[in-house]
Amino acid sequence: MRTAAEVIKKPWTESPPRRAWTSCIHERIDYIFISNNYWIDDERPCLTYAMRGHIRMVVSVQGPKQNVHAGVDGGAVVEPTIDLCYILGTLVDGAGRVCVPGFYEDVRASSEDDDAAFDRIAFDTTQYRHELGVQRLAQAAERNALRARWAEPTLSITNVQTSNGDQAFSVIPHKATAQVSIRFVPDQKADEIVTVVRHHLEHEFNKRNSGNQLSVEVVQVSQWWRSETSSPYFGAARAATKEVWGCEPLLVCEGGTMHTTCMLVDHFEAPALHLPMGQSSDGAHLPNERIRIQNLVNGQAVVYSFLEHLSKEGTTEEGDEGDRDELVA
Amino acid sequence: MRTAAEVIKKPWTESPPRRAWTSCIHERIDYIFISNNYWIDDERPCLTYAMRGHIRMVVSVQGPKQNVHAGVDGGAVVEPTIDLCYILGTLVDGAGRVCVPGFYEDVRASSEDDDAAFDRIAFDTTQYRHELGVQRLAQAAERNALRARWAEPTLSITNVQTSNGDQAFSVIPHKATAQVSIRFVPDQKADEIVTVVRHHLEHEFNKRNSGNQLSVEVVQVSQWWRSETSSPYFGAARAATKEVWGCEPLLVCEGGTMHTTCMLVDHFEAPALHLPMGQSSDGAHLPNERIRIQNLVNGQAVVYSFLEHLSKEGTTEEGDEGDRDELVA
């Protein structure tokens, strides 16, 4: 059973060849520039300045040593699947609020800048509900859907499986497994979240006193990431986007490549910037994935302009570690 | 959404060719003799005189119109999977007791004959636990495991699935589905059980007020079956088994071909008998399924002897509908 800290502390740079390579370029990295995100709609250019962290956990309950027959043994066996459903059902209430004691501790209060950025986006919850096809959003989200999606932690059950592979109605599965995906935010710590979630699951499981075995395993942890929007790098990206697209970019907190971003930031001790280049409807990773030619051409122009702005301003970033005079983009 | 009654009332004999065939042989069926079961261990010959009924239900909760991204929409969406786990977790407690109000109504009290038959089997719960590989059995079963398995109703969750087919930790499934398998006993009625289970699920689901959609569907119903052990047919089977194997058969309440048995009993209005012929370790439906030659040879001898005993006694069965003078085995 691994803790979140153990999962985090297995660096990608452990192997000797990688160590040699990274040590030789380490000193020359001032800034990490990633363009692998999308706008939040098809119209408005964006800059990503934060992403929630991600904890992947696997929770399983094991009972008999193999599947048993529901008609023969049903009633005599306390079923692992029902134990698992019970404990999973205690995690989140019907309004989307995570019911694990201590889960929301350390969540950083919304700043005025964040509120202003969220307000500027003028997010339409009615349209969002329509796009999702749901009758209602989680309670908190109705008032402030963006805050719920970007600045609040959340807990999802992304899959449940049993050992009854043939889906026979006459089989009691001897094991049931769930995937739990937790998104966490500044200033939450992965290890503390794992501890409270694990404790809650064990507490609820022990209430049942079923004699089955619970296992809670951390599979992967990606830290939350947040860049300083007041840095000269971020300023150069804002100015360049405005220059090319003719409007201020929206400052958003959604995007991908999160695990890699945190790993690079951590390893090179350099800040990062995400420049979303495509439209929300580009169909990322789906069939017929595309990018509009205008976005590609203007995207290149934003990168040129970003470098120009930086060279005019000088590149030493206040508040970041080290004094670096070069930019490796 | 079908009710249990609708599911039961779709007879196999509906098609015109089957109707013609069954009407021509209908009058000639006195008794239904089935040999498709196994002993409850490898040593002691058995006769099956009852089997629990079986209700197969599918319960699902649907939310957004398609899967959504846990990192992008997590926190704003109330998840169908958590709704489903919650309601499933309310069905059975940690001691295996079904928590649905009204579920145990109409369960026939154990008769002295049943108790005597169960006692005679001298069922070893320690060995049973060891075979299953569980720390403990359901509470009721510790006192009377056979009654829990044969004469008490039970509710199993035989599978849970989500619409996240790739099992990605970044996907919130838009739909989650569970299979519920209910075993029921004399004198419970399938329709009433379905009604109380459906009502309970709806009640628990409505508590969450999540805006998602619940669906409860009955897939198949097989009635419980119980034969009269005092009938001349059953008496002939007991005598024949004793004659061939040299010991009284154990009277047991487990076996297969339940749906077919009930269908035949219902359609031909004739009683049925199950003669288990193989040993419990024969590996039914598994690779290297087998039957011991001695069981095959003695099994044939039991059938011959059974017919002989019937011909000596006369074959009119007391307590069954109709006066039949012929036996079609």
DSSP string, B223-279: --EE--TTSHHHHHHHHHHHHHHSSPPEEE---S-HHHHHHHHHHHT--EEE---B-
Size of interface A-B (CB pairs under 8 A): 260
**A211 and B54: CB-CB below 8 Å?**
no
- pLDDT category, A309, cuts 50, 70, 90? very high
Residue of A nearest to B165 (CA): A159
Mark whether B203 and B299 lie in a shared domain: no
Q: Is residue A14 part of a domain?
A: no
* Span A73-78, average pLDDT: 92
**A75 and B210: CB-CB below 8 Å?**
no
CATH number of the domain encompassing residue A83: 3.30.70.360
**What pLDDT score does B328 carry?**
33
Of B291 and A259, the structure prediction assigns the larger pLDDT to B291
| Of the candidates A243, A236, A205, the residue with the CA atom closest to the CA atom of residue A60 | A205
**A71 and B92: CB-CB below 8 Å?**
no
Are the CB atoms for B272 and B225 separated by under 8 Å? yes
Which among A78, A95, A162 has CB closest to B96?
A78
Q: Does residue B20 register a pLDDT over 70?
A: no
Give B-chain residues touching A260 at CB under 8 angstroms: none
Q: Does residue B323 register a pLDDT over 80?
A: no
- pLDDT category, B52, cuts 50, 70, 90? very high
% of chain A beyond a pLDDT of 70: 86
Domain that holds residue B80: 53-222
Q: Is residue A8 part of a domain?
A: no
* Span B19-34, average pLDDT: 74
Least confident residue range of A115-119, A223-227, B86-90: A115-119
For every residue of B59-126, DSSP letters joined together read EEEE-SSS-EEHHHHBTTBPPHHHHHHHHHHTSB-TTS-B-STTTTTTPPPPPHHHHHHHHHH---HH
Q: Does residue B267 register a pLDDT over 90?
A: no
Residue A303's Cβ-count burial label (10 Å; 0-12, 13-18, 19+) is middle
**What pLDDT score does B118 carry?**
85
Compute the distance between CA of residue B157 and CA of residue A160 in angstroms, rounded to an integer: 12
**What pLDDT score does A240 carry?**
97
Find where tokens 């809670």 sit.
A216
Q: Is residue A12 part of a domain?
A: no
**What pLDDT score does B17 carry?**
61
Q: pLDDT tens digits, residue range A124-137? A: 888 889 989 998 89
Mark whether B281 and B135 lie in a shared domain: no
Q: Does residue A3 register a pLDDT over 70?
A: no
| Average of per-residue pLDDT values in chain B | 87
Q: Is residue A157 part of a domain?
A: yes
Q: Is residue B23 part of a domain?
A: no
Residue B114's Cβ-count burial label (10 Å; 0-12, 13-18, 19+) is buried
Give A-chain residues touching B253 at CB under 8 angstroms: none
Mark whether B187 and B274 lie in a shared domain: no
**What pLDDT score does A320 carry?**
43
Q: Looking at CA atoms only, how far is residue B193 from chain A in angstroms?
A: 16
Are the CB atoms for A154 and A175 separated by under 8 Å? no
Q: Does residue B326 register a pLDDT over 80?
A: no
Mark whether A137 and A192 lie in a shared domain: yes
Which among B76, B210, B256 has CB closest to A149?
B76
Which among B54, B65, B160 has CB closest to A71?
B54
Residue B80's Cβ-count burial label (10 Å; 0-12, 13-18, 19+) is buried
Q: Does residue B292 register a pLDDT over 60?
A: yes
CATH number of the domain encompassing residue B247: 3.40.630.10
Q: Is residue B280 part of a domain?
A: yes
Mark whether B175 and B105 lie in a shared domain: yes
- pLDDT category, B6, cuts 50, 70, 90? low
**B82 and A72: CB-CB below 8 Å?**
no
Q: pLDDT tens digits, residue range A261-299? A: 888 888 888 899 999 999 988 987 778 889 999 999 999
**B171 and A154: CB-CB below 8 Å?**
no
Q: Does residue A199 register a pLDDT over 70?
A: yes
**What pLDDT score does A18 carry?**
64
**A78 and B95: CB-CB below 8 Å?**
yes
**What pLDDT score does B27 carry?**
64
Amino acid at A223: Q
Mark whether B58 and B176 lie in a shared domain: yes
Which among B64, B93, B179 has CB closest to A167?
B179
| Average of per-residue pLDDT values in chain A | 87
Q: Is the interface score ipTM higher than 0.90?
A: no
**What pLDDT score does A92 carry?**
97
Burial code of B191-217, b = ≥16 C-beta within 10 A, e = fewer?
Answer: bebbebbbebbeebbeebebbbebebe
Mark whether A183 and A65 lie in a shared domain: yes
State phi, psi for B33 to the nearest 5 degrees: -115, 120
Last residue of one domain, picked from the residues B222, B251, B276: B222
* Span B286-294, average pLDDT: 90
**What pLDDT score does A88 carry?**
98
Give B-chain residues touching A172 at CB under 8 angstroms: 156, 158
| Of the candidates A81, A214, A178, the residue with the CA atom closest to the CA atom of residue B155 | A81
Mark whether B125 and B230 lie in a shared domain: no
**What pLDDT score does A27 carry?**
64
Q: Is residue B64 part of a domain?
A: yes
- pLDDT category, A312, cuts 50, 70, 90? confident
**What pLDDT score does B7 carry?**
58
Mark whether B252 and B194 lie in a shared domain: no
Which among A70, A179, A210 has CB closest to B156?
A70
**What pLDDT score does A22 carry?**
64
Amino acid at A220: Q
What would the two tokens of residue B287 be?
């690779």
* Span B278-294, average pLDDT: 88
- pLDDT category, A321, cuts 50, 70, 90? very low
Give chain B's length: 329
Cα B194 from chain centre: 15
Asked if the bond preceding B187 is cis, omega within 30° of 0, the reply is yes
Mark whether A195 and A157 lie in a shared domain: yes
Mark whether B174 and B236 lie in a shared domain: no
Residue of A nearest to B66 (CA): A132
| Of the candidates A119, A72, A107, the residue with the CA atom closest to the CA atom of residue A193 | A107
Which among B64, B85, B138 has CB closest to A89?
B85
Q: Is residue B19 part of a domain?
A: no
Could you tell me which residues are beta bridge partners of residue A77?
A: A74
Mark whether A260 and A153 lie in a shared domain: no
Q: What letter would DSSP give residue B20?
A: H
**What pLDDT score does B189 carry?**
97
**Helices B139-150/B112-121 angle, 10° precision:** 110
What would the two tokens of residue B315 be?
């074959």
**B167 and A153: CB-CB below 8 Å?**
no
Q: pLDDT tens digits, residue range A33-71? A: 999 889 988 999 999 999 999 999 999 999 999 999 998
Give B-chain residues touching A220 at CB under 8 angstroms: 169
Last residue of one domain, picked from the residues A201, A222, A243: A222
Give A-chain residues touching B79 at CB under 8 angstroms: 92, 96, 156-157
Asked if the bond preceding A266 is cis, omega within 30° of 0, the reply is no
Could you tell me the sign of the dihedral formed by the alpha carbons of B253, B259, B262, B268, in that order?
negative
**What pLDDT score does B320 carry?**
43
- Give the total number of structural domains in chain A: 2
Give A-chain residues touching B59 at CB under 8 angstroms: none
Compute the distance between CA of residue A295 and CA of residue A277 in angstroms, rounded to an integer: 6
- pLDDT category, B28, cuts 50, 70, 90? confident
**A134 and B94: CB-CB below 8 Å?**
no
Strands B68-69, B272-274: pairing is unpaired
Last residue of one domain, picked from the residues A191, A222, A253: A222
Q: pLDDT tens digits, residue range A144-195? A: 788 889 999 999 999 999 999 999 999 999 999 999 999 999 999 999 999 9
Compute the distance between CA of residue B80 and CA of residue A108 in angstroms, rounded to an integer: 29
